[in-house]
Structure 1
Amino acid sequence: MSRKLLAVIAIIVVIAIILFATGFWSADVKEGALPNVDVSAEGGAMPEVDVDSKEVVVGTTETNIEVPKIETETETVDVPAIGVKDNGEE
């Protein structure tokens, strides 16, 4: 679906380019200028604000929760051992 939409947009753009290139459509662009604007400002003070807000209290509360326990045990197993010995030594 997106390829079809992209193809339609591409065809519209090509047709618009052909119409401008042949002079069928033309854009009459005149030079313009920005207006002269005097911008000046004076520094001021922050507005006075009287705010009545609530007090935020932060702390801890002791609570009982279920926590999973993971137990481990030690077993003796045989693991591969790699070593180096000189010629003639055992």
Structure 2
Amino acid sequence: MTKTLLYSALSLALTFTAVGCDVDQVRDGKLPTLDVDASGDPGQLPSYDVDGPDVDVSMEESEVTTPDVDVEMKEKTISTPDVDVTLPSDNE
């Protein structure tokens, strides 16, 4: 249970990290110019400046009181939330 919760939290954090990146193109791409002898300007790929969000994740131990309960497990079909995240546009 603890591992599942930890893996879920880490995957959620990684998802928001990847989705929350701000990418700005800083240089346009250019095709190479060629001569018949294949010498000439080699061209260039576009350059991008990528700034990802700063995420700090840490674990700390806390002592809590929990009940000792014996649970009989049954498989059921239930409704669960479906979360969609829409990031704001970069037009400010």
Q: What TM-score, normalized by structure 2, do the two folds share?
A: 0.25
Q: Which has the higher contact order (CA 8 A, sep 6+)?
A: 2
Greater radius of gyration (CA)? 1
